[in-house]
A and B are shown apart, each in its own frame.
Chain A
Amino acid sequence: EDKVVQSPLSLVVHEGDTVTLNCSYEVTNFRSLLWYKQEKKAPTFLFMLTSSGIEKKSGRLSSILDKKELFSILNITATQTGDSAVYLCAVEADDKIIFGKGTRLHILP
């Protein structure tokens, strides 16, 4: 059975801190790993990773994939209150996209 596990499930930090969110997976026929941010409504796309060791970066957010160890991390540096959201990790495998439970991140001012 395909599985995507995120940790921690919940995280509270102060503005300016750096956070690392984790995602591990066990799937057949892996194609890509995706990160999404979800505030009150639909998830919005952050990154798509297909190759090991190549960091994707967008402003204060970055992500990397390790296909040998079957995990990915999402880093957010210099966090801001606007980063408060649920961060979802998903894996594309065999035409399906399977999501983890998400990490609920709360940034204190």
Chain B
Amino acid sequence: NAGVTQTPKFRILKIGQSMTLQCTQDMNHNYMYWYRQDPGMGLKLIYYSVGAGITDKGEVPNGYNVSRSTTEDFPLRLELAAPSQTSVYFCASRRDYTEAFFGQGTRLTVV
């Protein structure tokens, strides 16, 4: 079992560029989450999904988009990258009534 896999691990973007952070899980989990973690801070929820075809905004959704066409995949799209989006991004998944499992993170720098 690979668990939760995020790609890429590192990325440098120029202001105004777009990119997609990939997240896939092989545990057949229905819930999936995207978080960002700024230096010295906790995790802020960007978007989440309770199952294929269903997504909802979290605490800090502006500047991001998501889709959930399959149970396994939950990509996060950044349009028009800004320096404020420099952060570490974590994807997580879980089943009902269990803890969330995290991917290893993507470190994104916008310059």
A-side residues, CB < 8 A to B, are 6, 31-32, 34, 41-45, 48, 88, 90, 95-102, 104
Min CB–CB distance B33 → chain A (angstroms): 6
Contacts between chains A and B (CB distance < 8 A), count: 52
User: Complex Cα distance A35/B61, Å?
Assistant: 24
User: Complex Cα distance A41/B33, Å?
Assistant: 17
Residues of chain B from 77 to 111 with CB closer than 8 A to chain A in the complex: 90, 92, 94, 97-105
B74 within 8 A of A: no
In the bound complex, residues from chain B placing their C-beta under 8 Å from that of A97 are 33, 45, 48, 92, 94, 100
Known: A95-B48, A96-B58. A101 touches B100 (CB 8 A): no
Min CB–CB distance B82 → chain A (angstroms): 23
User: Complex Cα distance A42/B102, Å?
Assistant: 6
Chain A contact residues, majority secondary structure: strand
A99 and B105: CB pair below 8 A?
no
* Beta-carbon nearest neighbor of A35 in chain B: B99
Kindly identify which residue among A44, A90, A95 contacts B31, using a CB–CB cutoff of 8 Å: A95
User: Complex Cα distance A41/B37, Å?
Assistant: 11
User: Complex Cα distance A96/B57, Å?
Assistant: 10
User: Complex Cα distance A32/B97, Å?
Assistant: 8
B43 and A88: CB pair below 8 A?
yes
In the bound complex, residues from chain A placing their C-beta under 8 Å from that of B27 are none
Known: A95-B31, A102-B41. A42 touches B58 (CB 8 A): no
In the bound complex, residues from chain B placing their C-beta under 8 Å from that of A90 are 43, 100
